[in-house]
């Protein structure tokens, strides 16, 4: 599924590092699962979480075989957007709001970029639906939950991959006011508790090290592109003994 900030293009490369020493039965957890661009390439025990309840409702519905419209008109899109903005479920439940929002929104922005529709002979809604349908068989066995990253009950000794809202980049409705300082503190705490935590970002605090990086070409629109360097960070091992994990007061 096309999703803002998706790691689909680099998933296989970073997963070679993230899953390198994974033990049999060890849980792989993504607290910012998004469009499942990495999760759908992992097997075994998996938990996918996101704070956007409509996203999780959509994935759960698809996993359970819910039916969905393959044609999303502008009228239906606007109707679902109104329900989302008003936090109502008059004509659509959370699954349908999620489905219409991600399948019908421009560039995978979920009611934040306008209706995608058709342009220059391309049916963008149909493309998004077909891309998402390719993931359906890969949803089997994933446990989906809704919640903030620091409120999840993590299985002991898990591998945790965090694709967080990047600092100093455009934030969308579900990622506004993300507290990066508290997040990095939380990562330190989780590593101190025995979890393996990997974080995608452009930059990280000095006590983290980059274990992978690659320049990626991203399109802002049909005319403009930019080439950021994607990086994968971990907490520096030599500092682990100096870190005393304490319950954070957030």
What the chain holds in terms of domains, given with CATH numbers, is 1-51+147-250 (3.40.50.150), 52-137 (no CATH)
Helices (H), 93-241: 94-104, 124-133, 180-192
**pLDDT score recorded for residue 2:** 76
Provide the pairing of β-strand 28-30 with 46-50.
Answer: parallel
Q: What is the pLDDT of residue 143?
A: 98
- Report pLDDT for 248: 38
Cα–Cα distance for residue pair 165/247, rounded to 1 Å: 23
pLDDT (0 to 100) of residue 246: 45
Q: State the pLDDT at residue 240.
A: 67
CA atoms lying within 13 Å on the CB side of residue 90? 10
Contacts of residues 15-19 at CB distance under 8 Å and 24 or more positions apart, as own/partner, are 15/41, 15/42, 17/198, 17/211, 17/212, 17/232, 18/159, 18/161, 18/198, 18/232, 19/159
Kind and range of the H or E run holding 15: helix 11-18
What local confidence, expressed as pLDDT, does residue 60 receive? 98
What pLDDT sits at residue 194?
95
**DSSP-derived secondary structure letter, 106:** G
Structure-block tokens of residue 220:
């802002």
Nearest alpha carbon to residue 55 among 79, 78, 39? 39
Cross-strand partners of 119? 122
- Rounded to the nearest 10 degrees, how much is the dihedral formed by the CA atoms of 40, 42, 43, 46? -80
How far apart CA 235 and CA 146 sit, in angstroms, is 26
pLDDT in tens, the chain (250 residues): 777 777 888 999 999 999 999 999 999 999 999 999 999 999 999 999 999 999 999 999 999 999 999 999 999 999 999 999 999 999 999 999 999 999 999 888 899 879 998 888 899 999 999 999 999 999 999 999 999 999 999 999 999 999 999 987 766 666 678 999 999 999 999 999 999 999 999 999 999 999 999 998 765 445 556 678 999 999 997 676 655 544 433 3
Tokens of 1: 């599924």
For residue 42, what are its two tokens?
């992992």
- Integer Cα distance of 23 and 5 in angstroms: 29
Are the C-beta atoms of residues 57 and 98 closer than 8 Å to each other? yes
Give residue for tokens 């296989």. Answer: 12
Buried b (16+ CB within 10 A) or exposed e, 32-56: bbbbbbbbbebeebbbbbbbbebbb
Order the strands of the 208-215 sheet from edge to edge.
142-146, 46-50, 28-30, 159-163, 196-201, 229-235, 208-215
């Amino acid at each position: 599924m096309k999703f803002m900030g998706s790691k689909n293009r680099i998933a296989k490369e970073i997963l070679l590092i993230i899953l390198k020493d994974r033990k049999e039965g060890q849980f792989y957890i993504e607290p910012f699962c998004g469009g499942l661009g990495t999760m759908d390439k992992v097997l075994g025990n998996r938990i996918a979480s996101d704070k956007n309840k409509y996203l999780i409702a959509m994935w759960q519905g698809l996993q359970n075989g819910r039916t969905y419209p393959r044609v999303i008109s502008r009228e239906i899109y606007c109707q679902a957007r109104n329900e989302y903005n008003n936090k109502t479920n008059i004509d659509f439940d959370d699954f349908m709001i999620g489905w219409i929002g991600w399948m019908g929104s421009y560039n995978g922005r979920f009611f934040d970029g306008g209706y995608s529709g058709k342009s220059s002979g391309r049916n963008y809604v149909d493309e998004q639906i077909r891309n998402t349908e390719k993931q359906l068989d890969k949803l089997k066995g994933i446990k989906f939950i809704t919640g903030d990253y620091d409120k999840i009950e993590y299985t002991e000794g898990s591998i945790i991959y965090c694709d967080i809202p990047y600092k100093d980049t455009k934030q969308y409705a579900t990622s506004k006011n993300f507290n990066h300082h508290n997040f990095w503190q939380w990562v330190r705490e989780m590593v101190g508790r025995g979890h393996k935590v990997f974080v995608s970002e452009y930059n990280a605090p000095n006590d983290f090290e980059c274990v992978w990086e690659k320049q990626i070409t991203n399109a802002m629109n049909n005319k403009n592109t930019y080439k950021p360097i994607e990086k994968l960070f971990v907490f520096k091992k030599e500092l682990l003994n100096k870190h005393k994990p304490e319950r954070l007061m957030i």
